[in-house]
Amino acid sequence: MNPDSAPLLDPDLLLRRLGGAREIAQEVYGDLAASLPARIQECRHALAAGDSDGLRQALHTIKGSAATAAAEQVALRASNLGVLARDLAGNEEAVRSALDDLEVCVNRTLAAAGVSHE
Amino acid sequence: MYLSGNPQRLLSQKKYGIIVTMKVLLVDDEQVILTVSKQALSGIARVVDTRTDPKDALDLDLASYDVILSDFYMPGMRGDEFLKEVRARAPHVPFVFLTQNEDLSVAVELMRQGADDYISKPINPTNFVFRVRKVIHEKEQERQINQVLEEQKLLDLENRKLANWRILYASKDARQTEMLVSNLSRNINQAGGFLWLDLLAGSLQEVDQDNYSVPKAVMEMALNSARNQERLFNQVTYIGSLEDLELDMRSMDIAQFHEEVSTIVTREIVPILGSYERTVRWNTKPPETPGPETVTVDLARLTEVLRELAVNAIKYSPAATPLIMDITVQEENKTKMVAVQVSNIARRLEARDDSGNHIHGIPYDYKELVFDLFFTMEGFPEYLPEESWTDGSGLFIARKLMRLMGGWITANSGVDYTPARPQPLVRMEVRLPLEKPS
């Protein structure tokens, strides 16, 4: 699925998951803001070290958190990037570019959630 | 409504008045997952503890949780390692993995390793709560089934024990018969068996047409042997006739009963004991009875029983020691009864127990055995002329008589603390039920 065709955030889905507890939704967004940028940095370190497993593990975590918080685009991009990162050798540029896109998407998502770390 | 079998949990359920009963531990390195999962469980869980590091979780009292939910990929400790540690600390607590969809093969492997279930992320709250409750319910059912199986095992064990007892009793009956035969033959042979018959026949000297002469020694030996044999066969005949014994049963209150037993002690027991230079310590004060209950008894048969116990006491106590007698009112299994206690200081017997030690009094194993027909504590017991029933039949007959009167006799060992130096006691207790007057 093309990430761009998915909503950046689906607050209604998250609210349904939380039984309508808006204050908890805000807490979840806060958790995302505390987690995702750090995970992106983990991805960059792993990529620089050529550590495919470490990269995929970090992406896996990003995908899990984002999917749980109904941050659809981040979840899809992290998932696609995880597939791409299986074969890292000779593929670093494509992965780096996709990682850049993912970081941008993360920042947009956090901004949309009102918890931008910038 | 989910009900745990744990009373503490049921108690907390009552306390809170709602279905918030569970205590849950969530372990995931992602705070987002913890926050959402915790919120989903808030409707059914009393406590939701969260940890982002499984190593921190291991410091908790894991057995106190109703369920533990854990991520698999966590830095520092993977889910399978965490599961292993949890199983070592809390083997019965349900363990559920939270996995992402692509980890299904991992999840299946984890269930092989002892996880109870897995739930895919991102969680769907309805499904999530349903699965968590289901896994707890299944675990509780498993526990109950295991409990039933354990109880079944115990029951089987009890049945096997019972079967063993039956075999034991069957062999005991056979042993008793063997003892009877052995005792009869031993006594007969002790008296020369039926040799006396041959000797008598061979010693006969015809004096005239109407008379034989027999050497005096042969005649005395023959008579003695025949009397011993007669005694034994009379014993067997008497035991056989007990079932048809007619009893002269009389009802009386406790005070009257005490008076009647006092008479038996004075007229029957004291003279026997006196001839062996023994005394009786008889409690002349009747027991206090709160109610107007009566006891029904054949006094003549009770006299026989008490005589038998007194003679036994003389045989199995050291010289010059007293016989201690008392009447008490007791209650056992909601049945009130009056008991005549006949106690004597226990003497050391020649017989030895399995460890080779001399037997003192009546060992626990022998408490019932002493009432077996033809059972004697000593291989060659002493005979006293005052004995009505001999050769190991005395206590058997005494108990049988008491049973015919609706009573019983028990044998126990105890300690007499009245002298300065406490002494081991043998206590026979003749029990009769007390009845309320109609």
User: Contact B402/B409 with Cβ under 8 angstroms?
Assistant: yes
So what's the pLDDT on residue B181?
A: 65
So what's the pLDDT on residue A70?
A: 93
Query: pTM of this prediction?
Result: 0.48
Q: Check CB contact of A90 with chain B, cutoff 8 Å.
A: no
So what's the pLDDT on residue B167?
A: 66
Q: Check CB contact of A15 with chain B, cutoff 8 Å.
A: no
10 Å Cβ neighbour count for B9? Answer: 17
So what's the pLDDT on residue A44?
A: 95
Mark yes or no for CB contact A35/B125 under 8 Å: no
Mark yes or no for CB contact B35/A57 under 8 Å: no
A-chain residues within 8 Å CB-CB of B35? 24, 27-28, 31
So what's the pLDDT on residue B1?
A: 33
- The residue with tokens 């975590």 is A61
Instruction: List helix spans (H) across B76-190.
Output: 79-89, 104-112, 125-190
Residue B103 token pair: 């980890």
In whole numbers, what is the pLDDT of chain A averaged over residues? Answer: 90
pLDDT surpassing 90 at residue A34: yes
Residue of chain B minimizing CA distance to A38? B30
Residue B131 token pair: 């699965």
Residues whose CB is less than 8 angstroms from the CB of residue B331 and which lie 6 or more positions away in sequence, other chains included: B337
Taking every pair of Cα atoms in chain B, the longest distance, rounded to a whole number of angstroms, is 131
Q: Which of B100, B124, B125 sits opposite A64 (nearest CB)?
A: B100
pLDDT tens for chain B, residues 1 to 438: 333 344 344 333 333 333 456 899 999 999 999 999 999 998 888 899 999 999 999 999 999 999 999 998 888 898 899 999 999 999 889 999 988 766 677 778 888 888 988 888 888 888 888 888 888 888 888 888 888 888 888 888 777 777 766 666 666 666 666 666 666 666 556 555 677 788 888 889 999 999 999 989 888 888 887 887 787 778 778 888 888 889 999 999 999 999 999 999 999 999 999 999 999 999 888 887 667 889 999 999 999 999 999 999 998 898 999 999 999 998 887 888 999 999 999 887 777 766 777 777 777 767 887 888 777 776 666 778 888 888 788 999 999 999 999 999 999 887 777 777 888 889 999 999 998 876
Q: Which residues of B119-135 are buried (b: 16+ CB within 10 A; e: fewer)?
A: bbbbbebeebbebbbeb
Residue of chain A minimizing CA distance to B120? A64
Mark yes or no for CB contact A19/B43 under 8 Å: yes
User: How many angstroms separate the CA atoms of B80 and B71, rounded?
Assistant: 10
Mark yes or no for CB contact A18/B30 under 8 Å: no
